[in-house]
């Protein structure tokens, strides 16, 4: 059964009240009380959130009502992911983080962030058969995501383009006012594109240390959510054990309460192996650690579980084609160049 964070109910509650709808009554129809929206409460079946939103739109005459979700969110509503988003060094970094962990927020939605000739394209994908409900939730989700960008990067941020699967509504001017850019309705995807300079500009809200801490929390949460995903559970343990330098198939298997042979077999069934997961985890962390100028190369080598800097250097050459020192110089120069460009 697909589920979502209980605290997402706070966003929905504010949105309902913004449109003068009775949130308590709509929640009660799904057997939900205010206590069910607390962070420590059990996850809520996704279909309950969907029925509440669908029930709200049955009462609304404004087909653009989903756009107002941008006024109704708070970082705490997304749990650790909300705070990790605020701490992201760039919007690109934030969206890659969002794509990686969005299943924690809701299991019927996924996010893809990829480069296109126009810029960084953020595409929302849903596991919903009802096209009307999917359109309403796309409006709800994308408007909130763009407002999250504006909280980090400034209210003047405008996408290069917005694409929506829904047909052009009679209130299309409301979309143009909100997004401030060209819109294409009846498109193949729901999403928006950010200019590269906006996606990669260093953010004033960045806090790399906090981002790493929240990433560790999120990895654990994702592993718990996806209990059958052995690869995700292994990555969570790797994050804990890297600095010990003692990562091994025996140690990971023991932490998962299974034999090394069983762990190897189950990883193989997912098309991977421990060494590949270790390499992927180290590469992801290396990018984040090297974005922090306060961390020396020797610090990063320790944090990634390398006993010697030479081992880190060889891994860096394989990952990025350059030495750690050259990578940091290039990254710093690119960051400085972007910080001097005017925002679009």
- Regarding whether 106 and 42 lie in a shared domain, the answer is yes
- Regarding whether 142 and 55 lie in a shared domain, the answer is yes
| Among candidate residues 243, 247, 219, 251, the one with its CA nearest the CA of residue 233 | 219
For residue 293, give the 3-state DSSP assignment: coil
CB atoms closer than 10 angstroms to residue 271: 8
- Regarding whether 189 and 90 lie in a shared domain, the answer is yes
Q: How far apart are CA 237 and CA 247, in angstroms?
A: 9
Any idea what the CATH number is for the domain that residue 167 is in?
3.90.1520
Q: What are phi and psi of 142, to 5 degrees?
A: -70, -40
Does any domain span residue 295? yes
Give the pLDDT score at 335. 61
Paired tokens of 35 = 């206590």
For residue 194, give the 3-state DSSP assignment: strand
Q: Which residues pair with 190 in a beta bridge?
A: 124
pLDDT tens-digit map of 28-40? 999 999 999 999 8
pLDDT tens-digit map of 291-342? 777 788 888 888 888 888 899 999 999 998 989 888 888 777 766 665 555 5
pLDDT at 343 over 60: no
Give the pLDDT score at 334. 65
Identify whether the C-beta of residue 158 lies closer than 8 Å to the C-beta of residue 179: yes
Q: How far apart are CA 100 and CA 143, in angstroms?
A: 20
Any idea what the CATH number is for the domain that residue 311 is in?
1.10.10.60
pLDDT tens-digit map of 225-237? 877 678 878 887 8
- Regarding whether 234 and 188 lie in a shared domain, the answer is no
Number of domains in the chain: 2
Residues spanned by the domain of 182: 3-200
CB atoms closer than 10 angstroms to residue 251: 16
User: Which of 167-176, 200-209, 280-289, 310-319 is predicted least confidently?
Assistant: 280-289
Instruction: Look over the chain and give the mean of its residue pLDDT values, rounded to a whole number.
Output: 89
- Regarding whether 181 and 64 lie in a shared domain, the answer is yes
Does any domain span residue 205? no
CB atoms closer than 10 angstroms to residue 186: 10
Q: How far apart are CA 78 and CA 98, in angstroms?
A: 10
pLDDT tens-digit map of 65-87? 999 999 999 999 999 999 999 99
Share of the chain above pLDDT 90, in %: 60
- Regarding whether 276 and 180 lie in a shared domain, the answer is no
Greatest mean pLDDT range, 149-163, 243-257, 285-299, 312-326: 149-163
Does any domain span residue 209? no
Does any domain span residue 343? no
| Position with higher pLDDT, 284 vs 192 | 192
Mean pLDDT for the stretch of residues 129-149: 93
Give the pLDDT score at 286. 86
Max distance between CA atoms of the chain, in angstroms, equals 64
- Regarding whether 141 and 288 lie in a shared domain, the answer is no
Residues in contact with 275: Cβ distance below 8 Å, sequence separation at least 6, in sequence order? none
Mean pLDDT for the stretch of residues 124-149: 91
Identify whether the C-beta of residue 41 lies closer than 8 Å to the C-beta of residue 6: yes
């Amino acid at each position: 059964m697909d589920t979502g964070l209980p605290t997402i109910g706070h966003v929905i509650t504010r949105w309902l009240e913004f449109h003068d709808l009775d949130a308590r009554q709509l929640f009660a129809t799904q057997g939900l009380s205010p206590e069910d929206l607390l962070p420590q409460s059990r996850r809520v079946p996704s279909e309950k959130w969907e029925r509440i939103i669908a029930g709200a739109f049955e009462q609304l005459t404004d087909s653009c009502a989903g756009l107002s979700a941008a006024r109704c969110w708070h970082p705490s509503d997304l749990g650790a992911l909300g705070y990790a988003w605020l701490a992201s060094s760039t919007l690109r970094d934030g969206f890659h983080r969002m794509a990686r962990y969005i299943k924690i927020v809701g299991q019927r939605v996924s996010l893809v962030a990829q480069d296109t000739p126009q810029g960084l394209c953020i595409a929302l994908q849903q596991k919903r058969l009802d096209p009307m409900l999917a359109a309403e939730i796309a409006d709800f989700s994308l408007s909130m995501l763009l407002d999250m960008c504006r909280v980090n990067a400034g209210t003047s941020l405008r996408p290069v383009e917005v694409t929506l699967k829904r047909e052009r509504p009679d209130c299309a001017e409301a979309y143009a006012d909100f997004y401030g850019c060209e819109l294409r309705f009846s498109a193949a995807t729901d999403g928006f594109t950010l200019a590269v300079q906006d996606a990669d500009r260093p953010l004033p809200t960045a806090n790399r240390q906090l981002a790493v801490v929240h990433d560790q929390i999120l990895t654990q949460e994702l592993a718990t959510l996806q209990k059958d995903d052995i690869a995700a559970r292994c990555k969570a343990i790797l994050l804990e054990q890297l600095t010990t330098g003692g990562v091994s198939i025996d140690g990971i298997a023991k932490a998962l309460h299974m034999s090394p042979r069983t762990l190897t077999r189950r990883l193989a069934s997912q098309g991977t192996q421990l060494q590949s997961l270790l390499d992927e985890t180290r590469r992801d962390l290396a990018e984040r650690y090297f974005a922090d100028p306060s961390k020396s190369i020797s610090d990063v080598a320790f944090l990634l579980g390398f006993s010697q800097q030479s081992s880190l250097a060889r891994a860096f050459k394989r990952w990025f084609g350059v030495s750690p020192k050259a990578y940091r110089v290039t990254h710093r120069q690119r960051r400085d160049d972007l910080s001097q460009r005017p925002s679009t």
